[in-house]
Structure 1
Amino acid sequence: MYAMQYEITLPAAYDMDVVRTRVARVGHLLDDWPGLGFKAYLTRERGVHGSPVNQYAPFYLWNTVEGMNSFLWGGGFQGLSDDFGRPSIRQWTGLAYEEGGAAGAPARIAVRERRRVPEGAALGEVAGEAVREAGRLAARDGAVCAAAAVDTGRWELVLFSLWARDERPGTDGEVFQVLHLSAPERARLPRGRQW
């Protein structure tokens, strides 16, 4: 499992309806993309849920490298680059994935928490705690799913969760609105610890 996200920060006065209209027009194009667990089409709006910025920031969980590479190099990503310029893409190796009790409900918001892996920390313990934390998030009321992943280039953990509610679920991290969820292979994402 591989996680991927890019962030396109937009001007403070940007009309976010432009992004909503774009997602409504093209979001379905990944609804059957091979190798894609899910893509959450995410936005943050300045002043909503404490966001200091307007941002379009889709988050992906991939089942296969081939699916991810097909998206990046085979044309899927080109449309976004043509419309907004080519953003840097963050990638994380998956540590854990869990479905939540609200797995069948539509995702309304997402929460992403990033944290540094402390220098000198026992890596197995850090990864094990991230796995347990993903499980705890998925077990909370209203959770659609939760994942934990790590970027070993930056030694950064990411905890990502989708929620079937409109309000912040009482977790740390940045809150995003989910505009659309393409989930062709979500049922095939491996559950639990990824090693």
Structure 2
Amino acid sequence: MHAMQYEITLPADYDMTVVRDRVARVGPLLDAWDGLGFKAYLMRERGIGGSPVNQYAPFYLWNTVEGMNSFLWGGAFQGLVNDFGRPVVQHWTGLAHEEGGAAGSAAVTAVRARRPVCEGVDLAEAMAEAVRETARLASLDGVVSAAAAVDPRHWEIVHFSLWADASPKAPGEVFQVLHLSRPERESLPRGRQW
């Protein structure tokens, strides 16, 4: 499993209807993408839900590297580059994934929490703790799914959760889910990824 996200921060006075309309138009194009567990089309609006910025920030969980590479290099990603410029694509190696009690519900919000893996910590224990936190998140009321992944270049762990309601019970940056493409969500491996 591989996690991926890019963030496009937009001007404070940007009309976020443009993002909503774009997602309504292009979101369904990935509903059957080979190798994609899910893509959450995420947005934050300045002044809403505590967001300091206007931002479009899709988050992906990939089942296969081939699916991810086909998206990035096969032409689909170029449409976003043409519209917004080429963003930095963040990438993390999967640590854990769990379905929540609300797995059959539509995702309304998402929470992303990032934290560094500090120098000197035991790496096995840090990763095991990330797996335990994923299971804890998945057990909370309203959780559709939860995942954890690590970037060993920058030593950062990301926890990502999808929620069936607008009031998630987890700390982190809160995003609106505009669309959820989930062609292979049922195939995403559960639990620890090693």
TM-score (norm 1): 0.99
CA distance in 1, matches of 2:112, 2:14: 23
Hey, what does 2:136 align to over in structure 1? Answer: 136
Hey, what does 1:89 align to over in structure 2? Answer: 89
How do 1:104-183 and structure 2 match up within 5 A?
104-167=104-167, 169-183=168-182
CA distance in 2, matches of 1:38, 1:28: 12
Question: Unaligned 5+ residue runs, structure 2?
Answer: none
Hey, what does 2:19 align to over in structure 1? Answer: 19
How do 1:56-75 and structure 2 match up within 5 A?
56-75=56-75
Hey, what does 2:183 align to over in structure 1? Answer: 184
AA of the residue aligned to 1:3: A
Deviations 1:121-167 (A, max 9, x none): 00000000000000000010000000000000000000000000012
* Superposed displacement of residue 183, structure 1: 0.3
Aligned pair count? 194
* Superposed displacement of residue 37, structure 1: 0.2
Counterpart of 2:87 in 1: which secondary structure? coil
* Superposed displacement of residue 106, structure 1: 0.2
Identity %: 74
Counterpart of 1:77 in 2: which secondary structure? helix
TM-score (norm 2): 0.99
1:46 aligns to 2:80 (yes or no): no
AA of the residue aligned to 1:176: F
1:55 aligns to 2:55 (yes or no): yes
CA distance in 1, matches of 2:37, 2:128: 23
* Superposed displacement of residue 170, structure 1: 2.6
8 Å CA contact retained: 2:140, 2:169: no
CA distance in 2, matches of 1:74, 1:135: 35
CA distance in 2, matches of 1:21, 1:129: 39
* Superposed displacement of residue 14, structure 1: 0.3
How do 1:2-17 and structure 2 match up within 5 A?
2-17=2-17
AA of the residue aligned to 1:101: G
